[in-house]
Chain A
């Protein structure tokens, strides 16, 4: 047990979770008070002592599944013993449901045709039958995933194969159809929506069961350590913008919200503290009355440092679009920390998009409009920094003043066009600061058609900004 647990903790650390020695000891002590056969309680005991940041919970769960999924009788893989009895039970249920008396010889699900399996699955989803769904997940993986021991393929491959055979999207429609029939007629829009959400939720649960089943089999095949390694995923704040999958994007989006709140609170606090304004004479005299006219308690004015004016110029061509989107979202979410924020986007043409943010309170919608409506294509829709900067300078250059900070976002992959870096030089002469944020790792800079070095010499600094953590650090420095 002790070995297993220390292996588990090492894996957590490898996944990037900060687990200190005392926390380790706490975890050991905690599980002594918990009945070990209660898996849920065991999990929460470990979670409460080891994971101190909710964003890390998902990583914790994955590692936990890998390390402790094999223990416990209900998770037996070969479907022998207790499991079989369950299957028989389901078989009978299935027959009752379908009203087919004849049965199929053997008592297990193995003898079913795929169509019958789909029917049972549909019924299980309809009734929200958890145990049945678990058994079905097992069966589906066994049948469709085609897992072979020792084959060096990731779990996602098997997952894909299984789900493709099950056609869960079609299942949703069928379920909706069935519930419409149940009511006998049309559902109202509201009911329709609620039913759909309910089924989606159940299907999601079923998918998780399938995933867990595949993972269990893989762990049995390869051992926990190797498995954990393949499943290791970066924490949300470490996910790279440029390579994030759709799923990771969702998580990034969720992580962004609390982050902006934190950042805004921190910046506001920074503004108020640490600096003292000039003596507030009036207020001091007013308070001196309490001491018989002796100004014993000097009062100071609130410091009001000027807020910077921010001009964001972002490349939104395919490769770096996600990065620009996140930066714009972040900047606008804390826009009250700046006196003014103006946003420009470009690919090879450039367009101002400040108005999109003004008209709506919903940042997501504004970003969507930028992607669909902004006029950013001049010739062929491949990044042309030089032309974009030139146009920017002609049209809006005179609006850069000594208060403005210019943020340039992009990977500076210019497709071998002219760089026009004199624009940046002019900008710097007029603006307070000019910064360049590059979502590429530093080692890629100035390779191929990247000319970030050439632009960089004229800025006040080029920053690598690959993930939320780096972005956050930069924005904090800015305000």
Chain B
């Protein structure tokens, strides 16, 4: 199995260099994924940096990122491979009447006529890759089975060609928003990582690294307010990316420190439901 990293600490510092602040758990699981050669299933609320984790790891290891966006109705021909029918037809027509059938038959099911899709591409790549299977909970349960072979053995079986085994073991990240329970078979093959809203200190640091020109005092205030808001019973709690948006808004508006009035005026950046905004505004001003 691969040895991209030496220690957990190294992963953590490396991720920090590419502007991703990992906590102990995230770094630990990324390290284990590399050591055990197992895919990581990342779960958690929207906007907590699940996809970003895969991107950052790719950047850190200098690997190419191959992304498969899942959606309902995704099938083999879009995820794994497809035969290039047009090219096959042309090939047959070009040889009309000259060669024997068996020869052509063998010929048109060669690699030349294979269109690789993300999963196959990740396996056949020569250089190191990070494979990101995004929002895996959107595909149907039956389609999940497509992934199983590649996730456990790092190989793809094509009936006409045989089995294609990976040249190198890619780091695989699957993300899920948890809109449905994933199958046991899939879960068993993966390491599990739950990315939650960050602790206040970490969120503050995230704001400091990601938002340019922000003062430490403001970042601290933002992190504290966001924490308070998350404790309310809301339809949708603010995510990290929304916190960042809010921080950027405040910086753009030239606000140095937040008071209740200013917070109320800009809350719509942070919260996306009218009822939530009203509730938060009420909580922030009186009480």
Contacts and interface: CB of A to CB of B under 8 A. Distances in A.
B267 to A, nearest CB: 12
Contact of A189 (B31, B180, B284): B284
Contacts of B285: 189-190
B185 to A, nearest CB: 10
Contact of B194 (A57, A262, A266): A57
Contact of B24 (A40, A49, A258): A40
Contacts of A26: 36, 38, 191
Interface stretch (B80-88, B126-134, B224-232, B241-249): B224-232
A194 B224 contact: yes
A30 B8 CA distance: 13
Interface string B242-268: 000000000000000011100100000
B258 A22 contact: no
Contacts of B38: 26
Interface in A12-41: 18, 20, 22-23, 26, 29-30, 33-34, 38, 40-41
B212 interface: no
Contact of B259 (A23, A29, A188): A188
Interface residues of B, number: 49
Contacts of A20: 184, 188
B160 interface: no
A262 B31 CA distance: 31
A7 interface: no
Contact of B228 (A22, A48, A194): A194
A20 B190 CA distance: 13
Main SS of the interface on chain A?
helix
Interface in B183-225: 184, 187-188, 190-194, 200, 221, 224-225
Interface string A236-266: 0000000000000000000000100110011
A230 to B, nearest CB: 27
A258 B221 CA distance: 30
B35 interface: yes
Contacts of A29: 36
A290 to B, nearest CB: 16
Contacts of A47: 25, 192
Contacts of B8: 34, 38, 41
Contact of A364 (B178, B192, B233): B233
Contact of A30 (B36, B179, B225, B235): B36
Contacts of B135: none
A362 B29 contact: no
B47 interface: no
A395 interface: no
Interface in A153-191: 188-190
B188 A22 contact: yes
Contacts of B235: 361-362
Contact of A262 (B181, B193, B279): B181
A189 B43 contact: no
A312 B37 CA distance: 51
B260 A188 contact: yes
Contacts of B107: none
A48 B28 contact: yes
B10 interface: no
Contacts of A49: 32, 191-192
Nearest to B234: A362
Contacts of B25: 40, 44, 47-48
A268 to B, nearest CB: 10
Contacts of B221: 194
Given A44-B29, A48-B29, A262-B179, A189 B260 contact: yes
B99 interface: no
A258 B177 CA distance: 10
Given A30-B36, A57-B194, A45 B43 contact: no
B103 interface: no
A326 B74 CA distance: 36
A198 B225 CA distance: 10
Contact of A190 (B24, B32, B181, B263): B263
A33 B36 CA distance: 9
Interface string A331-375: 000000000000000000000000000001110100000000000
B24 A193 contact: no
Given A52-B192, A266-B180, A362-B275, A33 B32 contact: yes
B106 interface: no
Contacts of B32: 30, 33-34, 45, 48-49
Contacts of B29: 44, 48
Nearest to B236: A257
Contacts of B31: 33
Contacts of B36: 26, 29-30, 33
A193 B287 contact: yes
B136 to A, nearest CB: 13
B168 to A, nearest CB: 19
Nearest to B41: A52
Contacts of A197: 224, 227-228, 231
A52 B283 contact: no
A189 B287 contact: yes
B278 to A, nearest CB: 10
18 contacts: A26-B38, A26-B191, A33-B31, A33-B32, A34-B8, A40-B24, A41-B28, A44-B25, A48-B29, A54-B43, A54-B178, A188-B259, A190-B225, A190-B258, A194-B224, A201-B200, A262-B180, A265-B179
Q: Name the 6 nearest CB pairs between A and B, nearest first.
A: A44-B28, A52-B187, A48-B191, A33-B35, A54-B194, A190-B260
Interface of B: 8, 24-25, 28-29, 31-32, 35-36, 38, 40-41, 43-44, 72, 140, 178-181, 184, 187-188, 190-194, 200, 221, 224-225, 227-228, 231, 233, 235, 258-260, 263, 273, 275, 279, 283-287
Given A40-B25, A54-B44, A262-B181, 9 more contacts: A30-B32, A33-B35, A41-B24, A41-B28, A44-B29, A48-B193, A52-B192, A190-B260, A261-B179
